[in-house]
Amino acid sequence: MLESRPVRAAVLMAGMLGALVTAGLSPLPTAAQGRPSGGAVRAVLDNGLTVIVQERRAVDVVALHTWVRVGSKDEDDEANGAAHFLEHMLFKGTAKRRAGEMDREVEGVGGVLNAGTSLDWTYYHVVAPSRYFDQMLELQSDAMMRSTLDPSELERERRVALEEISRRDNFPTTRALELLRGLAFTVHPYRRSVLGTRASIERMPRETLLRFYRTYYVPDNMTVVVVGNVRTAQALAGVRRAYAGFSGAPVLRLPPPVEPPIEGVRRLVAEQDVRVAYLAVGFPGPTVRDRDVHATDVLAYALGRGLGARLRQQVVERARLAQSIGVSFLTTEDPYLFVISAVTEPAHAERAEAAILTELAAVADQRITEVELVRARNLLEGEHIYGTHTTRGQAYTLGFYATIADLEFASAYLARVRQVTGDDVRRVARRLFDPRRYAVAVIRPTGR
């Protein structure tokens, strides 16, 4: 799984965890600990491992997530795809469990096991009946600390990873986004695909994965999240036992090169065996730490989310220049892209791009209406609530923010979204949408 989002998969990223304030709690002898008012407890064990526990006693389920601060951003050209390849390998056997045993063990208790990789992070999750928490914790920690990266399994997973790359390249929507990524970034590692290239995966040795494993899968670079029908003190004690003896050198994650501003319009047109044209238009966007991230989320919803979105209404419904249109804004550690994607008839591609730019200029010049503003904020809040009403969704959100920012950042998110005004949205649109500086990738039918 790639580039998942706590609330809106591969579309937009935002979150709200409820008010987080320090409250009294009996200290654990091996952890620095604090409790947010929303119920989550955050502890840092003596070995540097961060643990977050949130009790949700209404359902007899527990979600157990482990987040690692490593993604494609941490790769070079030779190692491109290593973070994702390693994700595939981690549960393929340990000194204690042979390949396939972990999957069967989780299935045997009625649980679900999965994982995901993105630009800035990798995560692993198990969801199971809460009475099997200790068993699932022992299983997951076994993989985190003692995966063997079995050579025979590595070759099997290499074929799986190559098949994912083939599907990515054969699917025009994802290919257009990949082309845009490589066009918009020249020096920053965000230019590389999370999956890697066919060449990098084909020649990647086991030693590269071992290096990633030993470098990044260390306590101070990881967060364990537990949400569900558990007792906080018992869950923390269980994690402490499971990771006893776990150690490793702290990760030195050097700042990546700063991407220079886009000068002019960068355009790439590729041909493929398709019947329609696929457009991906990208503008540099803010980071998770940028004060404009909340208004940018609202802007993205106003432009591209739902039947009433501005771009759908103007470009699809009224102008009839596109069959479908959407907006993607991923929350990231470093500046990434605010992307508008559209599917259109090949003969309409240039006009569709012009119509998109016209609407972006209108938002920058005239601001969105109050109706659009309220609609966007309501959708944003509603989708978050829907996305975090399960133990798995809540664990994902807690883990995501603990990894990419911190829980304190999340505490005020929804309040700040509600404070976003039409003037804020216009200010952000003026900042982002320079019609003289953007990147656009187009996939059109062969020979057209």
> Do 271 and 418 fall within a single domain?
yes
**In the structure encoding, which two tokens stand for residue 383, read together?**
């989708």
| In-domain check, residue 260 | no
> Do 141 and 277 fall within a single domain?
no
Lowest mean pLDDT segment, chosen from 157-171, 206-220, 400-414: 400-414
Instruction: Give the domain CATH number at 404.
Output: 3.30.830.10
Residue 25 has a pLDDT of 23
Q: How far apart are CA 96 and CA 93, in angstroms?
A: 8
> Do 224 and 272 fall within a single domain?
no
Last residue of a domain, one of 242, 275, 301: 242
Which amino acid, one-letter code, is at 224?
Answer: V
> Do 136 and 190 fall within a single domain?
yes
Residue 412 has a pLDDT of 75
> Do 278 and 324 fall within a single domain?
yes
- Mean pLDDT of the 419-428 span: 96
> Do 233 and 292 fall within a single domain?
no
**In the structure encoding, which two tokens stand for residue 208, read together?**
């590269």
CA distance from start to end of the chain: 34
Q: How confident is the model at residue 15 (pLDDT cuts 50, 70, 90)?
A: very low
Q: Tell me whether strands 112-117 and 265-272 are parallel, antiparallel or unpaired.
A: unpaired
Residue 298: domain span = 265-445
Residue 129 has a pLDDT of 97
Q: How far apart are CA 312 and CA 369, in angstroms?
A: 15
Residue 408 has a pLDDT of 77
**In the structure encoding, which two tokens stand for residue 295, read together?**
């208004």
With pLDDT > 90 as the criterion, what percentage of the chain qualifies?
A: 83
Residue 1 has a pLDDT of 36
> Do 84 and 141 fall within a single domain?
yes
- Mean pLDDT of the 126-133 span: 97
| Contacts with 48 (C-beta within 8 Å, 6 or more apart), sequence order | 218, 219, 220, 250
* Residue 96 vs residues 41, 91, 242, 265: alpha-carbon distances, Å: 31, 12, 14, 55
When the pLDDT of each residue in the chain is averaged and rounded to a whole number, the result is 89
| In-domain check, residue 16 | no
Q: How confident is the model at residue 448 (pLDDT cuts 50, 70, 90)?
A: low
Residue 43 has a pLDDT of 96
Residue-wise pLDDT tens digits, 256-269: 999 999 999 999 99
How open is the CA angle 314-319-322, to the nearest 5 degrees? Answer: 85
| In-domain check, residue 319 | yes
- The dihedral built from the CA positions of residue 130, 131, 133 and 139, taken in this order, carries a sign that is negative
> Do 173 and 269 fall within a single domain?
no
| In-domain check, residue 10 | no
**In the structure encoding, which two tokens stand for residue 125, read together?**
């999750």
Q: How confident is the model at residue 367 (pLDDT cuts 50, 70, 90)?
A: confident
21 compared with 111, residue with greater pLDDT: 111
| Contacts with 292 (C-beta within 8 Å, 6 or more apart), sequence order | 286, 427, 428, 431
Q: Is 219 helix (H, G, I), strand (E, B) or coil?
A: helix
> Do 175 and 283 fall within a single domain?
no
pLDDT of 244 above 80: yes
Q: How many CB atoms lie within 10 A of CB 209?
A: 22
- Give yes or no for a contact between 10 and 280, defined as CB atoms under 8 angstroms apart: no
Number of separate domains in the chain: 2
> Do 102 and 185 fall within a single domain?
yes
Lowest mean pLDDT segment, chosen from 246-250, 261-265, 330-334, 403-407: 403-407
Residue-wise pLDDT tens digits, 164-191: 999 999 999 999 999 999 999 999 999 9
Whether this prediction's pTM lies above 0.85 is answered by: yes
Last residue of a domain, one of 242, 277, 298: 242
Q: How confident is the model at residue 388 (pLDDT cuts 50, 70, 90)?
A: confident
> Do 64 and 204 fall within a single domain?
yes
Helix (H) or strand (E) holding 443: strand 438-445
pLDDT of 17 above 80: no
Which amino acid, one-letter code, is at 306?
Answer: G
Task: Name beta bridge partners: 61.
Answer: 129
Residue 38 has a pLDDT of 54
Query: In 366-385, which positions are buried (b, 16+ CB within 10 angstroms) versus exposed (e)?
Result: ebbeeebbebbbebbbebbe
> Do 214 and 282 fall within a single domain?
no
Last residue of a domain, one of 179, 207, 242: 242
Residue-wise pLDDT tens digits, 317-356: 999 999 999 999 999 999 999 999 999 999 999 999 999 9
* Residue 121 vs residues 3, 248, 298, 320, 333: alpha-carbon distances, Å: 9, 18, 24, 39, 10
- Mean pLDDT of the 113-132 span: 97
Residue-wise pLDDT tens digits, 49-88: 999 999 998 889 999 999 999 999 999 999 999 999 999 9
